[in-house]
Structure 1
């Protein structure tokens, strides 16, 4: 299939030129139907076992991350899991973060008393790891401008100084191969094309020394035997870090995860990058220069953020982020969408 054509087939029916996956991904029709069926079943008093959907989503994300499902916890937000990791660090620990990274990732470390948070430019992260650095926390792909972090170099520097890394893959999971990390978090409502209310946490085989501060009954080894009083036996896997799930959301998440697996990350990555390259070439013809982010599915154009309302009124959906006009290209987009955006800018 020509990588410039849509990969999603009939799974999607956007009513706009939708180039805003970095904010919220489109949900496949099958995912919408699954959520609808779940709500109708609840209203009718007809039980459906949506906990099976949670386990299916956990297993699907684990395959994307290249880890066993037992290393994946399911929750609701990046901030919750970043906060859990922040709480596990010793008093005085140094956390290295990238400047202007997404708040949900970095703010929990700033909010935890007793930590030393050091901020450097994204491109300086690897060179800034030093003796005494305990954790390096950064986004795989930057939300504001699409820059891709040099994960291999950062990981090598962290290993050399006995530091660990936390990678936020919210802007990469679903179109980029996921990196090896001590901890990895991602939401499910962007490039994974699920509803809001889902986040994943990947932990090491030894569970990373995290304290399950948020554990409720679902974190028990036998959840239905853990409903009352203290949980006497926590799950022996990352499920001990599960948060009571938004069941309808997990029902709706499976269609997007299955589509990604069917198409394969390499095909989606090539498709998205080709559309981004087409947009960048068109910008050059218009005398505009985007933020340099080679290979990214996100293209941000400085100074054009104010054009977002006008483009939205014309049926082209993008974001205004940090003054940049941010376009993000995914499998349901085509070269026609890119050309329509360029026409709007011209």
Structure 2
């Protein structure tokens, strides 16, 4: 009981949405502490004071994400997008290498492999991805939770299949980091944006690499990728960072200033508690849909619910103050820590009407 009260108290202190916001799969809401940190960062620069505290925020975010991902901080690189991180991985593969992907996965985890033009990219249904790993598969790339409909990949099965055939693994946690416990240590590479379930501003993403860097070349490296960044501002970098920081991109400092506070909140609440809260709401919505005669895309255990045929109602729902997404004709609702059973019931009542 005390744990529930603490969870509710922390959430109430940080969020006061003016709508029934069920669209975290697009963008998470910013906590009040994050908004305050963004303002403080802007004032710091406006007043011409040293930006050292903002660079410290980057390192604090790196450490927080490492804890959430379950990996040493030396394996975490910071950047701006999953697409850029995928591009670094794609650049490391030899011509003709086979990359196994899931049908219609999010573009950022797929497209860099396609634009290479000399890789064999094979797509299969998500449910068959583990059984489709075969001798000669160089890399399996998949989202932990599908953006379009919330289906959760069987990552343990995928890991075992990849291990059996000597394939490497790349997992995009963008739609699960923050509500679904991560075990990034089980995979060769993984990435995530931070503006969805991690509740941060836009402009920050993380990449996890093996301790030996997994054969990646830091093709996007600039001065921040140097072992001594401030001594690497001119001419070629003389020594790349000895950690995953060699894959860093120049940070959006304001973003990391805010993100630090968002990650602190996620850690205070605990991913296990967030997971239980989010999935309970999603299951309540699924039960209500059944009562209305609607069948969502099967995605047991997911905080994302996608309902075929109802996407066209997104506009009217938005006008009624209920924010969801229209994804390929499906209505997508995403339930996170600031949502309540009343939010679920309001959406169900609107759909019934």
Fold-level match, TM-score > 0.5? yes
Which runs of structure 2 are paired with 1:1-346 in the superposition (5 Å)?
1=1, 8-49=11-52, 50-179=54-183, 180-346=186-352
Deviations 1:114-172 (A, max 9, x none): 10001100011011100000000000000000000000001100000000110000000
Deviations 1:306-336 (A, max 9, x none): 0001000000000001211000000111101
Kept in 2: contact 1:5–1:333 (CA 8 A) = no
Let me know the Cα RMSD of the aligned residues: 1.2
Range 40-49 or range 208-217, more displaced: 40-49
Shift of 1:77: 0.4
3-state SS of 1:235 partner? coil
Shift of 1:43: 1.2
Structure 2 distance, partners of 1:60, 1:229, is 32
Kept in 2: contact 1:6–1:332 (CA 8 A) = no
Deviations 1:249-299 (A, max 9, x none): 000001211111111111110000100011011111111111110000000
3-state SS of 1:127 partner? coil
3-state SS of 1:142 partner? coil
Structure 2 distance, partners of 1:7, 1:55, is 25
Shift of 1:47: 2.2
Deviations 1:27-50 (A, max 9, x none): 101111111111112111122320
Kept in 2: contact 1:219–1:243 (CA 8 A) = yes
Structure 2 distance, partners of 1:308, 1:6, is 31
Structure 2 distance, partners of 1:128, 1:256, is 38
Detail structure 1 runs of 4+ shifted over 4 Å in the superposition. 1-7
Shift of 1:5: 6.0
Structure 2 distance, partners of 1:173, 1:95, is 23
Structure 2 distance, partners of 1:23, 1:195, is 12
Shift of 1:9: 2.2
Instruction: Give unpaired runs (5+ residues) of structure 2.
Output: none
3-state SS of 1:126 partner? coil
3-state SS of 2:285 partner? helix
Alignment: residue pair count: 346
Structure 2 distance, partners of 1:210, 1:9, is 43
Range 71-80 or range 44-53, more displaced: 44-53
What TM-score does the superposition give when structure 1 sets the normalisation length? Answer: 0.98
3-state SS of 1:165 partner? strand
Structure 2 distance, partners of 1:115, 1:40, is 47
